[in-house]
Amino acid sequence: MYGSDYFPDSMLCAGRTGLDSCQGDSGGPLFGVSVATGERTLVGVVSWGYGCGDNGYPGIYTRVQAYTDWICANTGGAVCSGGVGASEAPPPAPSTSAATYFLGCGRAGWCPRAEGWRSQTEMHAVRCCADSHVSGWAKRGGCSVWTESDLGSLGGCQHNKTHAEATAICIGAGARLCTAAELQDNCAYGTGCGHDSALVWARDCEPGTIFAALDGCNTCTCPSSGDPAQAPCTEIACDSALVRGSDEYNPTRPPVVDEYNPTRPPVVDDASNPPPSIRVAADGCPHRGEAHARAELLVTDFAYVRCCTGAGSEVRCVSKRAGGECLGSSRYSDADRACAGLGGRLCTPPELEAGVCCSTGCGYDGKRVWSST
């Protein structure tokens, strides 16, 4: 099902086909109900999963039981039936402080709540900025960026997202989160979704806080400039199964090479020879939208998902699940699982370049999508 990404000591599964938690539910409760008394007990917290209600892929929840000692110690026993008191020592403090990022007003002076630094786990609105022209995006006078809040490339309006989710949404659209200065200079106002009066995530990290790099092999300290691209990083032991929730900007990864390398030797996907860390992405449709060359992306990067079935002249492509939901953007492993869950596979670069996926929906014709290579 989830393989090495699932840790039963600290996670649990719940749900069935068509009944599941979904995007936007993160942090919500999972209760166990006593058949005899009807009493509810908090047993899980919505965490992650593949899709929403997909067959064979239930939702994954944080197992509350694994953290009861910590919960009891930090609440003085107030929420513990055993009355655990403050005399119990809390667990060791984490080695890194929780990353915090700037929240700015979608339109300067229009928000009822104050701007400021917030924990990366809070849920807020999303607006994206691009450093080069994107068709349909707005460019305000005096600004050097193009901005948007409501386009198919963003998956529509995005209201309640963590900083990691917001970062991924903008990367998936070929853009980034706006900086605090860009928001305060009104570069993103008037781009829809009612976000002019909402607090939206900025790219800026709070100086001195520590965040996990996307590669899972480095932790980085936010510099005085607040620009994560300038953050000094320290290498740590890599975990082959990246911890979900660490989808932060990764200033240490090598530059993306915009030319496919046909001389790279093939890699066999088995236990003795693990999958490559780089995969090829290509245009969703070679003749539409913004033109892209083939690109080599890290498997932890984000690209859009289109799936193929069949072979030769019988190849068919889809961009949506059976219920009509767009497949969206994701890391390579999630894209591969998404296609397998639909009974298909990722398309090959030649299939994408032959146009088999053109006009299959979701606005992905001009976007970079994962291939099987």
The CA distance from 261 to 258, in Å, is 9
The residue ranking higher by pLDDT, 69 or 353, is 353
Q: Is the pLDDT of residue 216 over 60?
A: no
Predicted confidence at residue 265, as pLDDT, reads: 38
Least confident of 139-143, 251-255, 366-370: 251-255
Least confident of 45-54, 255-264, 329-338: 255-264
pTM of the predicted model over 0.85: no
The CA distance from 148 to 152, in Å, is 10
Predicted confidence at residue 158, as pLDDT, reads: 86
Predicted confidence at residue 142, as pLDDT, reads: 93
At 243, the pLDDT band (50, 70, 90 cuts) reads very low
The CA distance from 24 to 139, in Å, is 29
Give the contacts of 133 (CB within 8 A, at least 6 positions apart): 139, 146
Judge residue 40's burial from the number of C-beta atoms within 10 Å of its C-beta, 0-12 exposed, 13-18 middle, 19 or more buried.
exposed
At 1, the pLDDT band (50, 70, 90 cuts) reads low
At 161, the pLDDT band (50, 70, 90 cuts) reads confident
At 79, the pLDDT band (50, 70, 90 cuts) reads low
Q: Is the pLDDT of residue 242 over 50?
A: no
Look at residue 247 and give its three-state secondary structure: coil
Average pLDDT, the chain: 75
Report CA-CA distances (Å) from 243 to 5, 104, 228, 320. Answer: 8, 28, 19, 27
Q: What is the dihedral of CA 77, 83, 87, 93, to 10 degrees?
A: -40
Determine the average pLDDT of the residues in 236-261. 34
Give the contacts of 38 (CB within 8 A, at least 6 positions apart): none
Q: Spell out the domain ranges in the chain.
A: 3-74, 100-205, 278-370
Give the contacts of 353 (CB within 8 A, at least 6 positions apart): 282, 283, 286
Least confident of 104-108, 313-317, 328-332, 345-349: 328-332
DSSP 223: P
**Structural contact between residues 173 and 213, judged by C-beta atoms closer than 8 angstroms:** no
Give the contacts of 71 (CB within 8 A, at least 6 positions apart): 64, 79, 80
Closest-CA residue to 328 (of 367, 278, 285): 367
DSSP 319: S
Judge residue 301's burial from the number of C-beta atoms within 10 Å of its C-beta, 0-12 exposed, 13-18 middle, 19 or more buried.
buried
Q: Is the pLDDT of residue 194 over 60?
A: yes
At 28, the pLDDT band (50, 70, 90 cuts) reads confident
Residues 84-108 as b/e (b if ≥16 CB within 10 A, e otherwise) read beeeeeeeeeeeeeebbbbbbbbbb
Per-range mean pLDDT, top range of 80-84, 184-188, 341-345: 184-188
Kindly report the CATH class assigned to 3-74.
Answer: mainly beta
Measured from the Cβ of residue 291, the count of other Cβ atoms closer than 10 Å reads 9
Look at residue 138 and give its three-state secondary structure: strand
For the stretch 91-136, pLDDT in tens is 333 333 457 899 999 999 898 888 999 988 888 999 999 999 988 8
Q: Is the pLDDT of residue 4 over 80?
A: no
Determine the average pLDDT of the residues in 24-44. 77
